[in-house]
Structure 1
Amino acid sequence: MKITVTAAEPKDNTLEAKLTVAAADVDAAIKKAYKDIANKYRFQGFRKGKAPRPVIDGLVGKDNVLAQASEDVLNEATPLMLDELDVVPVGQPTYGDEPVLVSEGADYEVTAKISLRPDCELESYDAPEINMPPAEVTDAEVAEQLETLMNYHATYEDAGEDFAAAQGDMLTLDIENVENGEDLAGTDRPFMIGSSTVPAAFNDAIKGMKVGETKDVEIAVEGHDHTDAEGNVEHHEGKTVKVKVTLKSAKKQVVPELDDEFAKKAFGYDTVDALKDALKEEIAEDKKQQLPNIKETRVIEKVAEALKLDELPQDYVKQVFDEIAQDFLGQLQRQGLTLDAWLSARKIQISDFLDDLNAQAAERARQSLALDALAKKLSLEVTEKDVRKEFEDAGVKDVDASMKEFKEAGRMPAVRETVKRSKAVDWLVENAKVTEVDEIAERRAAREAAKDAE
């Protein structure tokens, strides 16, 4: 199809473009529309597919035929227009409230309105400053891994008289709702201190309780946005939750002592030092894989914080939301799972799942806009060689055929956009100012300080 596109400068995140389709392509679309209708319906006195145009015009209506041809022309021309303009629209382009019909023997001219993402700025275009875990394995990292392994071998013993509920202990609770505590209330509720299924403040409130003790607990729950199954976002105000908690019974977590005998029996190493050396090697290997990804994630998060934008455009967030959801559902389908089965297996409510997905979409939208702003500031360009490499790296068998398919579908601008953002990320990674911080050591120290405070 031969098209001509002229466009003005975008205004208010909308690009207006005049699209012209050559008369020869219009005539071909009209001919195809008549043929399709002739094959689709039976016209009395004529064999299927053989009804002449006047008969079809009289029974179906000429305007209806031209409407179908117009739709076919736009369906084919729109991707080519997007490729010509090199834009990734938010939603689909629109062509006015009233459809413009094609005319035989004449060029087809129509004005398209294309919604775009906002052209944003950053507070600063300087290379970001980030903290990173040390490249070398630290004692704290080995200790943390060792602690995790030992917790797998923990047992639970009935609490003694000197028991005070602490992290990891298994409790049986009666929780009476006093105010806004319906979700927590219940009788003989099994509970492990440290559970992520309740607010952190609730965990903190019941630490130190003794068997038989009853305690009034009051915690503040922050407000949040909730997305329902139809994608509608509702804001839930923060509230104060009041419950009466009784600790009915408890089992104290007991972690076995680690010595050479236990190291051999449980992990197959002759000594504790040999076990630690093995863990150190494993952590070192993991770091080779993880640190580059951690660095990339942190520089992207950092540049997103610098985005100058009061409010994210909801139509763009919705588009990102749909992309994430479709990708996730595709992964489930490839695994032979349904969303309901996946949620049920993980005991996740659909409302919580949608809230999490919406938060992901908002953050990804913010990051994308920030990377676009940086790429523009750095004047990053995408060459044909870059695009070809993108297809090659994706393992495409026939690169030329795939590139042709993407171009005809109007998806090539999105590929160029991805390459440009990748170049912006590469610049961030290369130029970021890094401070090494043993975050695990800091976290362990904070935990110990909290225990001492109790």
Structure 2
Amino acid sequence: MNITVTPEQPQDNKLTAKVTISAADVDAAIKKTYAEIANKYAFQGFRRGHVPRPIINNMMGLESILAQATNDLLNAADPAIVEELDVTPLGQISFGDEPAIVVEHSDYEATVTIDVRPEAELESYDAPEVNMPPEEVTEAEIDWQLNQLLSYQMTYEDTDEDREVAEGDVIGVDIQNVEGAGHLAAENRTVTLNGMQLPAELQEAIVGMKPGETKDVEWVKSHEHEGEVHEHKFCVKVTVKAIKKAVTPELTDELAKKNFGYETVEKLREAVKEEIEADKKTSLPQLKEDRVVEEMGKRLQLDEVPENYKNEIFNELAQEFLAQLQRQNISLDMYLAARGVKADDFIADLHAQADERTRQSLALDAVAKKMGFEATEADVEAEFERAGIEDVKAAVKQWKDQGRLPAIRDSIKRTKALDYLVENAKVTVKDEVAERAEAQKAESAE
């Protein structure tokens, strides 16, 4: 397509450009529209594909034909405009509410508007200072990993505490079904009052009770079925048996052998050390990148990120996460239930992640611009090669024709910016696990 694009300076995160499409492309779009109509519809007295234009004009209307040709022409021009401007649009390119209709044998001119990411400044473009765990394995890290393993062996025992039950407590309860709640009935059932294991109405009634206390609890649930509202009544007799405490077993040679398959605690520690060492080789470089980009995101001088950009990143994160669950053959409901997470809290957390990532991406954009990093043709081809594409030239052409190369170039420039920052970041090594353990010990002592 022969197209000329003249951009103006972006304002309020919108890029405006004058676009001119050649008369030859206009005529080709009109010809294509007539051909499609002639092949799609049956016109009495004519074979499909062999219908004169005047006949089609009389049946379909010249204005509607040219309107369709205009729409097809503009859709075909989208990728070329994006490539010419080398921008990654947020949403669709706008040709205005009522784009002009094409005129045969004439160039087509239009003004396009594209929502783009904002260009922001940073408080400082210098590589940041970050804290990092040591490359070698520390005793504190081994202890922490062992405590994690022991937590899976945790049991709950009754206590003598004589106080009111509070949210978050682990308790033992008897639940006797009186009406409609057979699925809840149990003796000395261990439950955590975290809003996930019991109906909200039942948990609310239990909070404030004391061990040995019995209470009748009733509540009603409504649901709609085939346009009718149905109510279901629940009634239980609940008795709080005891407030429970978590008990973690002591790590002994016997436990190490029985539960983890190692002859002694020392051999178990050695195995855990080797596992941590292997993990650090892959996790520390990524951790450094994450911390560097997190610090740069804090330097962004931008009060509010455009909502459409945040929504785009939110959708990307959601799709990535759902794809990961699908590969593991796990539904979102299963994931949330297994972790005791409410759907609203999960979505709110995903929005928070999206907000953070948008600021970090804009910070890397700012560094790339400041440092003059560019994405060359060789860089783009190398990106496709790393993805394992066999015919790189063909793939690059396809992405160019689809208007998708600007996004690749943006990614390459951000990667160059990040590599520069990571290479020049000042690192302070800290045994963060040991510090965290000391803080927890001090908190417990208080």
TM-score (norm 2): 0.81
Distance 1:333 1:51, change over 3 A: farther
- What is the DSSP-based 3-state SS (H/G/I as helix, E as strand, rest coil) of the residue aligned with 1:366? helix
- Residue number among 407, 417, 432 corresponding to 1:424 in the alignment: 417
Q: Aligned equivalents of 1:77 and 1:390: distance in 2?
A: 26
- Residue number among 240, 253, 259 corresponding to 2:252 in the alignment: 259
Q: How does 1:19-168 map to 2 (within 5 A)?
A: 19-159=19-159
| Stretch moving more, 423-432 or 335-344 | 335-344
Q: Aligned equivalents of 2:362 and 2:170: distance in 1?
A: 46
Q: Tell whether 2:360 aligns with 1:367.
A: yes
Q: CA deviation at 1:160?
A: 5.0
Q: CA deviation at 1:121?
A: 0.2
- What is the DSSP-based 3-state SS (H/G/I as helix, E as strand, rest coil) of the residue aligned with 1:109? strand
Match for 1:32: what amino acid? Answer: K
Distance 1:303 1:347, change over 3 A: same
| Structure 2 contact 196–340 (Cα < 8 Å) conserved | no
Q: Aligned equivalents of 2:424 and 2:164: distance in 1?
A: 51
Q: Aligned equivalents of 2:90 and 2:150: distance in 1?
A: 51
Partner of 2:180: none
Distance 1:381 1:344, change over 3 A: same
Distance 1:78 1:133, change over 3 A: same
1:305-363 CA-partner distances (Å, limit 9, x unpaired):
00001111112112222333344444455666665665566665443333222222211
Match for 2:11: what amino acid? Answer: K
Q: Tell whether 2:318 aligns with 1:325.
A: yes
Q: CA deviation at 1:39?
A: 1.9
Q: Aligned equivalents of 2:126 and 2:285: distance in 1?
A: 20
| Structure 1 contact 212–248 (Cα < 8 Å) conserved | yes
| Structure 2 contact 325–332 (Cα < 8 Å) conserved | yes
Distance 1:357 1:260, change over 3 A: closer
Q: Aligned equivalents of 1:346 and 1:308: distance in 2?
A: 36
Q: Aligned equivalents of 2:119 and 2:432: distance in 1?
A: 36
Q: Aligned equivalents of 2:290 and 2:263: distance in 1?
A: 39
- What is the DSSP-based 3-state SS (H/G/I as helix, E as strand, rest coil) of the residue aligned with 2:356? helix
Q: Aligned equivalents of 1:444 and 1:192: distance in 2?
A: 25
- What is the DSSP-based 3-state SS (H/G/I as helix, E as strand, rest coil) of the residue aligned with 2:110? strand
Q: How does 1:146-225 map to 2 (within 5 A)?
A: 146-159=146-159, 170-172=170-172, 190-192=190-192, 211=211
- What is the DSSP-based 3-state SS (H/G/I as helix, E as strand, rest coil) of the residue aligned with 1:429? helix
In structure 2, list runs of 5 or more residues that go unmatched: 175-187, 198-208, 215-238
Q: CA deviation at 1:211?
A: 4.3
| Structure 2 contact 130–292 (Cα < 8 Å) conserved | yes
Q: CA deviation at 1:247?
A: 6.2
1:189-232 CA-partner distances (Å, limit 9, x unpaired):
95448x6979xxxxxxxxxx984599xxxxxxxxxxxxxxxxxx
Partner of 1:297: 290
Distance 1:97 1:265, change over 3 A: closer
Match for 2:435: what amino acid? Answer: E
Distance 1:335 1:279, change over 3 A: closer
| Structure 1 contact 169–253 (Cα < 8 Å) conserved | no
Match for 1:446: what amino acid? Answer: A
Q: How does 1:281-296 map to 2 (within 5 A)?
A: 281-296=274-289
- What is the DSSP-based 3-state SS (H/G/I as helix, E as strand, rest coil) of the residue aligned with 2:18? strand
Q: How does 1:405-444 map to 2 (within 5 A)?
A: 405-444=398-437
Partner of 2:205: none
Q: Aligned equivalents of 1:165 and 1:272: distance in 2?
A: 38
Q: How does 1:391-406 map to 2 (within 5 A)?
A: 391-406=384-399
1:363-390 CA-partner distances (Å, limit 9, x unpaired):
1111111111111111112111111111
1:46-78 CA-partner distances (Å, limit 9, x unpaired):
233322211111111111111111111111111
Q: CA deviation at 1:34?
A: 0.6
Partner of 1:183: none
Partner of 1:184: none
Q: Aligned equivalents of 1:189 and 1:428: distance in 2?
A: 54
1:254-309 CA-partner distances (Å, limit 9, x unpaired):
33322223322322222221211111111111111111111111111100000001
- Residue number among 265, 272, 281 corresponding to 1:279 in the alignment: 272
- What is the DSSP-based 3-state SS (H/G/I as helix, E as strand, rest coil) of the residue aligned with 2:51? coil
| Structure 1 contact 79–407 (Cα < 8 Å) conserved | yes
Q: Aligned equivalents of 2:189 and 2:114: distance in 1?
A: 55
Partner of 1:2: 2
Distance 1:107 1:337, change over 3 A: farther
Q: CA deviation at 1:431?
A: 1.0
Q: Aligned equivalents of 1:281 and 1:341: distance in 2?
A: 33
TM-score (norm 1): 0.80
Match for 1:71: what amino acid? Answer: N
Q: Aligned equivalents of 1:269 and 1:345: distance in 2?
A: 29
Q: How many residues align?
A: 399
| Stretch moving more, 416-425 or 387-396 | 387-396
Match for 1:410: what amino acid? Answer: G
Partner of 2:441: 448
Distance 1:157 1:319, change over 3 A: closer
Aligned-residue CA RMSD in angstroms? 3.2
Match for 1:124: what amino acid? Answer: S
Distance 1:169 1:138, change over 3 A: farther
In structure 1, list runs of 5 or more residues that go unmatched: 175-187, 199-208, 215-245
Partner of 2:206: none
Q: Aligned equivalents of 1:70 and 1:20: distance in 2?
A: 13
Match for 2:144: what amino acid? Answer: E
Match for 1:286: what amino acid? Answer: D
Q: Aligned equivalents of 1:316 and 1:161: distance in 2?
A: 52
Q: Aligned equivalents of 1:305 and 1:213: distance in 2?
A: 52
